[in-house]
Structures are given as structure tokens and as C-alpha cells.
């Protein structure tokens, strides 16, 4: 990655290839992607947006327990996961990575099952090296480091990619994981999706650093800040970083400068803490609009294709949700069975206690009090 010095995070430099109007502003950095690859990436971005919209409505109807939206962050999430080699590389996610899960190959109905509370919703299909969503903020960094360490010990060629938000970068575990990865020269790419808010805490109240990319410097790790609403820049930086790590150069940190267009979660109201007019200004940088304009400029996309895509994807999301609802129920044991290969005595005790409680208060499962 000979361009790292040019985009020095200490100078707050940002890698951008597409501007907000979908025009190329950095022609020497355009990645070598075929038109079919560009269209495929856009289709996944669009699908994730439509799935998010559907799940918002389903949650309001009480048909999903909760979920966390990727709306606004599709370009970087598709960019870094589409750069992974299927069946070889690994992805350790957080909880706001719907577009990334789709790109990795997670079926929509399984993602929905997860948000319905079914443990099997986090189980990846054969050949999909994607770990279950991680709710404990920052822990996925340690998981990725463990995978990368295993790859190194067995002399494998796989690279681990992991991501957290700007808030997650304040967790001690994220620094510990990065420090360990540098010490052992591990093949891992650390990502910070700076979407401007840690729930309701804005970046300005979370760090005094000029950006998040500089947080790798203390460990001796190279880093770069990228326009995370620009798919081309997101893919370019990710693909290069993954190959950099694969060649034995050690870990690297990427900050994707993006924006969480939706709420923190389905139980959140961002209007309470977002300054008036902020959303209206930031939506001008919508990654889907930017990518769509670029595809149209290449004469490989138009409004008729968009209309057809929206219809097909809406039908797909609806059918996947119907499938997920049929798999909504699950045995109580599933909550306890999959932490270890074999359940420990403590977990067996907890399962027995849960059974005793439900036998005594069966109305709990029926939504009673």
C-alpha cells in the first residue's frame, strides 16, 4: 500500500474516489472492477437498505424483538466484505453489519431469525466464514485476533477482518487486540465504522483525536482514513489492506468515515440528540445515491432497472421474513448449548433454573405478567 503516506491520518487526509454526486475525483485510484461486479455490489447495498426498511416496520408490529440498522453504512460494509476471499478469509462482526452479512452470504431469513431471538439465526451456512453477531462491544476485535493467530500458527493464508463503531474504539479490548496483533504480526484488518454516534454520544464527546485512524499509531500499526460512503474507495482500501496482511506484513487499521442514517436501534429516537438539520445535510452523501449515479454515468444502470430491482428485492425480503416466522420458536436449551462444545456444570444449573422458572410462570412465554 504505497499510498499510505499520501493519506497520512496525522494530516487528516481522506481517501476518496467518488464524490457525493457519483463523479470520479481520483482517477488513478479507481479499482479494477468489472461492470458486473459494480452492479452486484450495488444490488447488495440496495437489498440491505430495503431489508432494513422492512425490519423497521416488522419490529413496530412486534414481529421482531429488535434490530440494528446498517442504513447509511452500506458502501463500506459491502466494500470490505466483497474484498474477502470466500472460504478462506474470516469476518468477525459487531451487531450493526447487515450489509456485510448479506455480502458474506448469510441468508436473509437467518438474519431475521437472529433478531427474533433464535440462536440458529447466527449459524453461518457451510463455507461462509462469518462469526455470529457480537453484542459485547469490542470483543469481536479479540475474536478476529484469535482467528488470525490460528491462521499464522497453521501457516494458512486466511485473513481476519473485524469491525466496530466509533464508540467501540473506546473499549479497552479494542486496543488490547490491536496491540497483540502487532506484537505477533498477525494477518488481521481492523475497521472502525465512524458513523458519528455511539448510541447518543457524538464523536466530539467521545475523543479528542482528529480522527479514529490515528488510534492505530500507538501500537505501531499503519492506518488510513477512507470516505466510507464511497464504495470505490472502501473497496480499494479494503482489498489492498487484506492483501497487505495476507503477505505477512501484519495488521492494519482502516477508519471508514460514514453516517448512521437510521436510529441506533429499533428502540431509539435519534431526533432527541441529533442537532436540527444534521440529517438533512448528511443524507446528501447517501452511499446508495452516489453509487447509483456512478452506475448511470457508466450507462450500465437506469430507472427502469432500479424499479425492477426494488420490486424483486421487496418480494425476496417478504418471502424470507415469512420463512423466518415459521422458524421463530426454538427449544429453551438452545440458549445455553452453544457457548462451549459441551455444556459446563454452571450452564446446566442455569438451564435447570430457567426450566423451573418457566414451569412456575408459564405466562411469561405467552407475554403475560
Cα gap 139→271, rounded to integer Å:
29
Is 351 found in the same domain as 322?
A: no
Average pLDDT over residues 214-224: 96
Is 53 found in the same domain as 180?
A: yes
Is 299 found in the same domain as 184?
A: yes
| Share of residues in the chain with pLDDT > 90 (%) | 90
Give the global pTM: 0.94
> Tell me, what's the pLDDT at 110?
96
> Tell me, what's the pLDDT at 34?
98
Cα gap 96→256, rounded to integer Å:
14
> Tell me, what's the pLDDT at 266?
85
Is 87 among the domain residues? yes
Q: What angle do CA 235, 50, 109 make, to 5 degrees?
A: 95
255 phi, psi to nearest 5 deg: -100, 125
Among candidate residues 101, 75, 77, the one with its CA nearest the CA of residue 292: 75
Is 2 among the domain residues? no
By residue count, the chain amounts to 369
Cell numbers given for 63: 414481529
| Active centre residues (catalytic) | 260, 264, 273
pLDDT of 367 higher than 60: no
Is 139 among the domain residues? yes
Average pLDDT over residues 226-250: 98
Is 197 among the domain residues? yes
Among candidate residues 119, 177, 129, 174, the one with its CA nearest the CA of residue 149: 177
> Tell me, what's the pLDDT at 192?
98
- Sign of torsion, CA 144 190 70 166? positive
Is 4 among the domain residues? no
Is 50 among the domain residues? yes
CB atoms within 10 A of CB 44: 20
pLDDT of 368 higher than 70: no
CB atoms within 10 A of CB 224: 25
Is 77 found in the same domain as 222?
A: yes
The predicted-structure confidence for 316-346, as pLDDT tens digits, reads as follows 999 999 999 998 888 888 889 888 899 999 9
The predicted-structure confidence for 120-163, as pLDDT tens digits, reads as follows 898 999 999 999 999 999 999 999 999 999 999 999 999 999 99
Average pLDDT, the chain: 95
Is 361 among the domain residues? yes
| pLDDT band at residue 220 using 50, 70 and 90 as cut-offs | very high
| pLDDT band at residue 267 using 50, 70 and 90 as cut-offs | confident
CATH number of the domain residue 75 falls in = 3.40.50.970
Cα gap 209→207, rounded to integer Å:
5
Burial of 61 from C-beta contacts in 10 A (0-12 / 13-18 / 19+): exposed
Any idea which of 26-35, 115-124, 160-169 has the lowest mean pLDDT?
A: 115-124
* Structural domain that includes position 367: 334-369
Is 297 found in the same domain as 357?
A: no
Domain count, the chain: 2
Only one residue has cell 496525522, namely 10
Q: Give 119's DSSP letter.
A: G
Q: Are strands 160-165 and 252-257 parallel, antiparallel or unpaired?
A: unpaired
| pLDDT band at residue 119 using 50, 70 and 90 as cut-offs | confident
- 62 by DSSP, 3-state: which? coil
Is 357 found in the same domain as 214?
A: no
Is 48 found in the same domain as 146?
A: yes
Cα gap 349→360, rounded to integer Å:
17
> Tell me, what's the pLDDT at 149?
98
Q: Give 249's DSSP letter.
A: I
- Sign of torsion, CA 31 35 39 40? negative
Is 239 found in the same domain as 111?
A: yes
Is 269 found in the same domain as 359?
A: no
Is 354 found in the same domain as 250?
A: no
Is 278 found in the same domain as 234?
A: yes
3-state percent breakdown (helix, strand, coil) of the chain, nearest 5 = 50, 10, 40
> Tell me, what's the pLDDT at 365?
66
Is 366 among the domain residues? yes
Is 99 found in the same domain as 31?
A: yes
Cα gap 77→71, rounded to integer Å:
10
CB atoms within 10 A of CB 119: 17
| pLDDT band at residue 292 using 50, 70 and 90 as cut-offs | very high
| pLDDT band at residue 23 using 50, 70 and 90 as cut-offs | very high
Amino acid at each position: 500500500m504505497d499510498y499510505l503516506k499520501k493519506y497520512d491520518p496525522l494530516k487528516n487526509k481522506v481517501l476518496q474516489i467518488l464524490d457525493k454526486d457519483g463523479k470520479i475525483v481520483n482517477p488513478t485510484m479507481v479499482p479494477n472492477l468489472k461492470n458486473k461486479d459494480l452492479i452486484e455490489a450495488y444490488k447488495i447495498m440496495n437489498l440491505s437498505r430495503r431489508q432494513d426498511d422492512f425490519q423497521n416496520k416488522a419490529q413496530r408490529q412486534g414481529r421482531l424483538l429488535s434490530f440494528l440498522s446498517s442504513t447509511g453504512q452500506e458502501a463500506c460494509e459491502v466494500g470490505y466484505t466483497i474484498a474477502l476471499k470466500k472460504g478462506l478469509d474470516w469476518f468477525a462482526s459487531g451487531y450493526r453489519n447487515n450489509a456485510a452479512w448479506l455480502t458474506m452470504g448469510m441468508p436473509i431469513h437467518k438474519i431475521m431469525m437472529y433478531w427474533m431471538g433464535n440462536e440458529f439465526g447466527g449459524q453461518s451456512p457451510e463455507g461462509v466464514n462469518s462469526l455470529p453477531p457480537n453484542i459485547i462491544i469490542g470483543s469481536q476485535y479479540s475474536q478476529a485476533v484469535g482467528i488470525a493467530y490460528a491462521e499464522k500458527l497453521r501457516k494458512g493464508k486466511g485473513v481476519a477482518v473485524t469491525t466496530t463503531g466509533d464508540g467501540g474504539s473506546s473499549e479497552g479490548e479494542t486496543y488490547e487486540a490491536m496491540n497483540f496483533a502487532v506484537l505477533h504480526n498477525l494477518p488481521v484488518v481492523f475497521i472502525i465504522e465512524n458513523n458519528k454516534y455511539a448510541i447518543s454520544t457524538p464523536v466530539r464527546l467521545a475523543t479528542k483525536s482528529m480522527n479514529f485512524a490515528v488510534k492505530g499509531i500507538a501500537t505501531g500499526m499503519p492506518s488510513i482514513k477512507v470516505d466510507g460512503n464511497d464504495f470505490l474507495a472502501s473497496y480499494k482500501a479494503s482489498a489492498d489492506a487484506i492483501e497487505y496482511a495476507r503477505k505477512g506484513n501484519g495488521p492494519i487499521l482502516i477508519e471508514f468515515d460514514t453516517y448512521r442514517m437510521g436510529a441506533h436501534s429499533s428502540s431509539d429516537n435519534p431526533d432527541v440528540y441529533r442537532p436540527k438539520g444534521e440529517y438533512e445535510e448528511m443524507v446528501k452523501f447517501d452511499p446508495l445515491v452516489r453509487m447509483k449515479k456512478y452506475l448511470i454515468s457508466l450507462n450500465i444502470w437506469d430507472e427502469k432497472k432500479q424499479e425492477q430491482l426494488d420490486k424483486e428485492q421487496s418480494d425476496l425480503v417478504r418471502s424470507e421474513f415469512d420463512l423466518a416466522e415459521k422458524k421463530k420458536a426454538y427449544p429453551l436449551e438452545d440458549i445455553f448449548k452453544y457457548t462451549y462444545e459441551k455444556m459446563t456444570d454452571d450452564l446446566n444449573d442455569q438451564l435447570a433454573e430457567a426450566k423451573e422458572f418457566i414451569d412456575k410462570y408459564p405466562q411469561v412465554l405467552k407475554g403475560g405478567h
